[in-house]
Each structure stands twice: as C-alpha cells, then as structure tokens.
Amino acid sequence: MSETKTLTCVACPKGCEVTVKYEGNEILDIQGNACPQGADYAREEIIAPTRILPTTVAVKDGALPLVPVKTTKPISLEIIHDAMKIIGKTKVKAPVKIGQVIIENILETGADVVATRDLPKKAG
Amino acid sequence: MLKLKKDVVVIGGGPAGLAAAVKVFDNGVEDVMILERDFELGGILPQCIHNGFGLHHFKEELTGPEYAQRFIDDVEDRDIEVKLDTMVLDVSPDRKVYAMNREDGFLEIEAGAVILAMGCRERTAGAIGIPGTRPAGVLTAGTAQRYTNIEGLLPGKEVVILGSGDIGLIMARRMRLEGADVKAVCEILPYTGGLTRNVVQCLQDYDIPLLLNHTVTRIEGNERLEAVEISEVDENLKPIPGTEERIEADTLLLSVGLIPENELSKKADVVLDDRTGGAIVNEGRETNVEGIFACGNVLHVHDLVDWVTQEAEIAGDWAAKYVKGDMRRSDSKIKINAGKNVSYVIPQNIELEDKDRKRIPLYMRVTTPLTACEIKLSADGEELYSFNEPFAKPGEMLSVPLAQKTLNDLGKIEEITVDIIEKEGE
C-alpha cells in the first residue's frame, strides 16, 4: 500500500513543502518542490535521511581552544552520534587552515571532516 | 588625540560591515576604514558553525565561518584598512567618529560618509521579566553558542529553551550533539519564530519537543538553576492556571528576539523606526542624517546573512556615490507604508534619482503566518500590481520588486502601500 508524507525541504532556506507518495523504498510521486534539489531531498528523506554534520574539534596551542569543522558531504542521520564520538576524541595542532582535512573518510562514509576556518597559533 | 580623515568609515566588521566596505572600495572610493570591537573580523559568523549560509549569495552551502572568510579575504585582497579591538564611543551628526583602542588611544575620525553596521544583540531574561530567582544557568542562546563553539565550554547538561528563534533551534541541536539532554523548546506564539528548515533539522531530527503556546512562568534555584515551570498560554498569551508543569533543568536558554544595537545611531541624531528598532532609511539605506547609512541587523533583524550582504552592498554603493558627489535626491519623497498584515517594509522612503535602475527591491515581513497570499502594491490608494506567494511566515523575510518604470509612469505620488492579503477559497 502506498503512503503519503509532507516534508519541509531543508536544501535551502525557502523551505518548500514537498509531498511524497511512496511504497516501501519506491518513490511514486513528488509534488510541491520549487527545484530539482527538493525532489532529491524528498527521495533521500524517505529512503535514508542524511545531513551535513557541523561541529568543533579541540585545538592544541591555538588562538582559540576549538576549530569549527564540517563533513564534506551529508552523512546518514543514523550515525551522527557515532561520528560525534569520534570527532569528540580528536585533537588537532595549530595552526589550522580552512579546508584542512581533520578526519579522513569518517565511518567509511566517503565524507571527510574538514576545518571551516583558519586558526592561528596562540601568540607568544 | 589621533585625528584622521577618511572618505568612508564603517562601524562594525561583521557580514554587513565587510560587504559594505568592499562595495565602497569597488566603487572607486578606496579610502575606507572598518572599525571592529572584537579581536577578529566576522561579527557573529565565527560562532555560527552550522551550515546553511550562502545559498542565495554564493549558490553553495557554507558554514558561518566559511561565509565570513570569503568577505575577510575580499577585505584583505583590497588592503582595506581595519582597526580591531577598537570601540566606537560616539558619532556626531556631522560625521565625526570617536573611538579608542590600546594602540592609538583616543581617535577622532572625520568621515565623508559613515556606514552603521553594528548588528544587534539578544533580548535577555531581564528584558522579558520571568518571575522567580536569578540563578546561574539562565543565559541567551547566543551566549551559549559562544561558550560552546568558540570557548569550548558546555553551558549545561539538562536544557530547556524558551523561544523558537533560529539561534534557539540551532543551539537545541548543538547541545544535543554535545551530549546534553534538551528537554523542550517552548514558544509562546502558536507558530515558530525560526526558519522551518531549522525546526526540521534541529528539533525533529533529534526528537526534541516543540511546545507551541507555552512559556516559562517560573525560574527555580539559588546558586544554579534547578527547574523551570512552564505553562500553556491562552490566545492573549496569558498563562492558563492549572497547566503548570515543572521541568528539572540546569540550563535555560533564551531565544526571545534580537534588538538592533542603535546607541551610536541615536547619538548621531538618527531617527529610529518603532517597528524595526532600526533607522528609517531611503532606498540607498541612508538615514535621516545626511551621509550616514545603515545596513544589516542594526537596520532590521534579518533571518539570512545573504540578505544582509545584499543590503550592505546597496549601502556601500550609495555611500560611495555620496562621497563622490553622485547622489542626487528627487524633488519628492515617496513614503512606503506597511499595510495590512505587514509588520514593516524597508526602505521606508524612496527619494533618490537613479536612471540606470530597473527596480527597487522592497523587503518586508508579515505580522502573522499566511497561506496562499497576495502582496499588493498601491500608490496613493490606487492598486498597482500584486505578487502571489504560496505562504508567508513572520520568521521569513519577503522581497518584491517595485519597478522604476511604474514610478516614472505614476509621476508625482505621496506614498506606496504594501498589503499582504490571504486569497479566499484556497
């Protein structure tokens, strides 16, 4: 039997209300999306929701104690907490450059964890 | 006292100030200086480590620090002069800026034009008056964000959030990810104040309850917060007796609104709009004081930094024109009114001559959530045209273009009114 779900697309801040008709993992119809990203989002959201994970990593000798990081692509929502555990145990040495890979291929997702800002060494 | 002369002084090195300064420079006015009170540029963006920035401006999804970095790079590439750790103390109506820092001491800068880009600050517990004690553990969501993301300190373990503004929603997820138990987000209104996407990806993803029509009615605890009492409210937002519920918590985050930070503007005799809390401006983002411009959250609180950038670029363009003597006022001033269901419209006035422009974007917010609505523009009571919107929410800014051709065809008019009306039968 087919089911219908209305989702708010989070691909951009417009927040389209997308209605998806599906049966199991088969998508039958997608309505209400203003762009193709909305359809992709709805499809993924039904089959396996994924999110970019933005968080921080501890820094040794940095101008600040933390550097912000993100995954280079969305990872499965199910493993977010596992990813946080690994990231929480990581410490990187200053200086850090924006885009620098902090953890490669986290949890075999194909996504790297990269720094999202430059962080110089602590002065003095 | 160090005395300087600058073509343009930008007060504030956040997203608005950075974009405005770059635009001023790119318009050929290279003698521009940014004054910033923090130790680095970027304003609030360095602590907004989440993604979702830049989708409109850069057509890609960036985090706050990444968005800031692009503009910081632009400023550095142009060698735009920046003074960090510098506090501006006063601005006079004749555009003298008084500031101080440890290196220069007291500074007086005579500016050809001033761009106000001081941003906003958060409304606090004091400002909303919750009954009860005043223990540690009650803080604004933005302060908690700074502790968590910049200073590496988790503000607490059991959290209740009052207000569903974007920072509150973002912090609900952030603290959950860092291992805190986020027990509820209470919103006094029947709808959320934040972006829908944040309700989805910050609350629904982590099963954090959003309690609409609820507020915090008591704070408990002496040294440290021990519990909050929440209550349901009626349609007049008054707590309903008998609906009280006690939630044990060591932390209460407040995400109950942002206030444009206009102390300096007032010193310069800038007139503020009661509805926005920011200056009343024309389409060049010039305030009532000649040569003083305003943009970003100091002008009105934005939901997206992309719109801040857009507005800052407008201010930068016109400030450069002003300094070059290329800014001309028309004989008449058209007042832009916020009509039915509209809380405000920016700009509030149209009075500048610009032969090249095709349209003037009008930015607005609705007072209440609407579905299937029409944004109607009328001039002196005569309807001009309308735009359809599938939905409108107070938390999400709307923009419609006012065509220059329409203005030319109309000739002399006094005012333009924007109404947003729900279409019937849909």
> Among the listed ranges B116-130, B313-327, B405-419, which one has the minimum average pLDDT value?
B116-130
- Across the interface, whether the CB atoms of A116 and B65 are under 8 A apart is answered yes
> Among the listed ranges A26-30, B184-188, B260-264, which one has the minimum average pLDDT value?
A26-30
A and B: number of Cβ contacts within 8 A: 78
Q: Model confidence at B37, in pLDDT bands (50, 70, 90)? A: very high
- Across the interface, whether the CB atoms of B197 and A7 are under 8 A apart is answered no
- Across the interface, whether the CB atoms of A13 and B303 are under 8 A apart is answered yes
Domain that holds residue A13: 3-48
Q: Identify the three-state secondary structure at position B198.
A: helix
Do A88 and A40 lie in one domain? The reply is no
DSSP state of B188: S
Do A63 and A99 lie in one domain? The reply is yes
- The Cα–Cα gap between A16 and A10 comes to 8
User: What are the residue boundaries of the structural domains of chain B, listed by start?
Assistant: 1-122+258-326, 124-256, 330-426
Tell me the fold of B330-426: Immunoglobulin-like (2.60.40)
**B303 with B290: CB under 8 angstroms?**
no
| Chain B residues 135-154 within an 8 A CB cutoff of chain A | 148-152
Confidence at residue A17, expressed as pLDDT on a 0 to 100 scale: 85
> Among the listed ranges A7-21, B89-103, B166-180, B338-352, which one has the minimum average pLDDT value?
A7-21
Q: Model confidence at B159, in pLDDT bands (50, 70, 90)? A: very high
Q: Identify the three-state secondary structure at position A1.
A: coil
Looking at residue A58, which CATH number applies to its domain? Answer: 3.10.530.10
Give yes or no for residue A16 having a pLDDT over 80.
yes
- Beta-carbon contacts of residue B77 (< 8 Å; ≥ 6 apart): none
Nearest Cα to A114, choosing from B121, B65, B37? B65
* Residues A44-101 pLDDT 10s: 888 888 999 999 999 999 999 999 999 999 999 999 999 999 999 999 999 999 999 9
User: Considering the domain boundaries, does residue A120 fall inside one?
Assistant: no
Task: List B371's β-bridge partners, or say none.
Answer: B391
Do A65 and A111 lie in one domain? The reply is yes
- The Cα–Cα gap between B345 and B339 comes to 9
Count of CB atoms situated within 10 Å of the CB of B361: 15
Mean confidence (pLDDT) of chain B: 95
- The Cα–Cα gap between B294 and B279 comes to 7
**B159 with B251: CB under 8 angstroms?**
yes
Do A101 and A72 lie in one domain? The reply is yes
Two structure tokens written together for B212: 């609409």
**B33 with B109: CB under 8 angstroms?**
yes
Do A62 and A90 lie in one domain? The reply is yes
User: Considering the domain boundaries, does residue A73 fall inside one?
Assistant: yes
Q: What percent of chain B has pLDDT over 70?
A: 99
Which residue of chain A is at minimal alpha-carbon distance from B303?
A13
- Across the interface, whether the CB atoms of B49 and A56 are under 8 A apart is answered yes
Task: List B90's β-bridge partners, or say none.
Answer: B98
Nearest Cα to B178, choosing from A112, A80, A116? A80
- Of the two residues B330 and B182, the one the predictor is more confident about is B182
Do A44 and A60 lie in one domain? The reply is no
Instruction: State mean pLDDT over B248-262.
Output: 95
- The Cα–Cα gap between A54 and B160 comes to 22
- The Cα–Cα gap between B357 and B286 comes to 17
Confidence at residue B173, expressed as pLDDT on a 0 to 100 scale: 97
User: Considering the domain boundaries, does residue A71 fall inside one?
Assistant: yes
Confidence at residue B176, expressed as pLDDT on a 0 to 100 scale: 96
Do A69 and A34 lie in one domain? The reply is no
- The Cα–Cα gap between B17 and B19 comes to 6
- Beta-carbon contacts of residue B34 (< 8 Å; ≥ 6 apart): B10, B12, B13, B17, B18, B21, B41, B75, B80, B81, B82, B83
**B91 with B267: CB under 8 angstroms?**
yes
**For every residue of B201-258, which 3-state class applies, written as one string?**
HHHHHHCCCEEECEEEEEEECCCECCEEEEEEECCCCCECCCCCEEEECCEEEECCCE
Two structure tokens written together for B426: 């849909």
**B270 with B17: CB under 8 angstroms?**
no
**A15 with A35: CB under 8 angstroms?**
no
Selecting from B150, B152, B197 the residue whose C-beta is nearest the C-beta of A15 gives B197
Question: Taking the CA of residue A31 as centre, how many other CA atoms within 13 Å lie in the half-sphere pointing to its CB?
Answer: 8
* Residues B300-350 pLDDT 10s: 999 899 999 999 999 999 999 999 999 999 888 999 999 999 999 999 999
Do A43 and A95 lie in one domain? The reply is no
B152, B154, B160, B163 alpha-carbon torsion, rounded to 10°: -10
Q: Same CATH topology for B124-256 and B330-426?
A: no
> Among the listed ranges B163-167, B174-178, B389-393, which one has the minimum average pLDDT value?
B389-393
Confidence at residue B127, expressed as pLDDT on a 0 to 100 scale: 62
User: Considering the domain boundaries, does residue A75 fall inside one?
Assistant: yes
The secondary structure of A11-79 as a DSSP string is: SSTT--EEEEEEETTEEEEEES-SSHHHHHHHHHHHH--EE--EEEEEEESBSSSEEEEEESS-EEGGG
Which residue of chain A is at minimal alpha-carbon distance from B66?
A116
Do A72 and A98 lie in one domain? The reply is yes
- The Cα–Cα gap between B372 and B269 comes to 41
Please tell me the CATH code under which domain B1-122+258-326 is placed. 3.50.50.60
Q: What interface predicted TM-score (ipTM) does this complex get?
A: 0.87
Give yes or no for residue B69 having a pLDDT over 90.
yes
Total structural domains within chain A: 2
- The Cα–Cα gap between B306 and B285 comes to 17
Task: List B121's β-bridge partners, or say none.
Answer: B259
> What residues of chain A have any CB closer than 8 angstroms to a CB in chain B?
7-10, 12-13, 15, 17, 49, 51-52, 54-56, 58, 64-66, 68, 70, 77, 80-81, 84, 98, 116-118
Which residue of chain A is at minimal alpha-carbon distance from B60?
A12
Give yes or no for residue B261 having a pLDDT over 90.
yes
* Residues B338-386 pLDDT 10s: 999 999 999 999 999 988 899 999 999 999 999 889 999 999 999 999 9
Confidence at residue B125, expressed as pLDDT on a 0 to 100 scale: 66
| Chain B residues 48-77 within an 8 A CB cutoff of chain A | 49-52, 55-56, 61, 63-66, 68-69
Which residue of chain B is at minimal alpha-carbon distance from A68?
B49
Count of CB atoms situated within 10 Å of the CB of A124: 3
Give the domain-ending residue among A31, A48, A65.
A48
Surface-to-core class of residue B226, CB atoms within 10 Å of its CB (0-12 exposed, 13-18 middle, 19+ buried): middle
The architecture that CATH gives domain B124-256 is 3-Layer(bba) Sandwich (3.50)
Two structure tokens written together for B395: 């938390």
Nearest Cα to B221, choosing from B246, B194, B243, B197? B246
Do A9 and A58 lie in one domain? The reply is no
Q: Spell out where B138-212 has E strands.
A: 138-140, 158-162, 181-187, 210-212
The b-or-e profile of B316-354 (16+ CB within 10 A means b, else e) is bbbbbbbbeeebeeeeeebebebbebbebbbbbbbbbeb
* Residues B136-152 pLDDT 10s: 999 999 999 999 999 99
H-helix or E-strand spanning residue B121: strand B120-122
Residues of B in contact with A49 (CB under 8 A): 205
DSSP state of B348: S
- The Cα–Cα gap between B53 and B198 comes to 13
Which residue of chain A is at minimal alpha-carbon distance from B50?
A54
Give yes or no for residue B23 having a pLDDT over 60.
yes
Give yes or no for residue B425 having a pLDDT over 70.
no
Nearest Cα to B43, choosing from B64, B74, B20? B64
Selecting from B69, B151, B195 the residue whose C-beta is nearest the C-beta of A13 gives B195
Q: Model confidence at B126, in pLDDT bands (50, 70, 90)? A: low
Do A109 and A58 lie in one domain? The reply is yes
- Across the interface, whether the CB atoms of B196 and A116 are under 8 A apart is answered no
- The Cα–Cα gap between A117 and B47 comes to 11
Which residue of chain A is at minimal alpha-carbon distance from B39?
A63
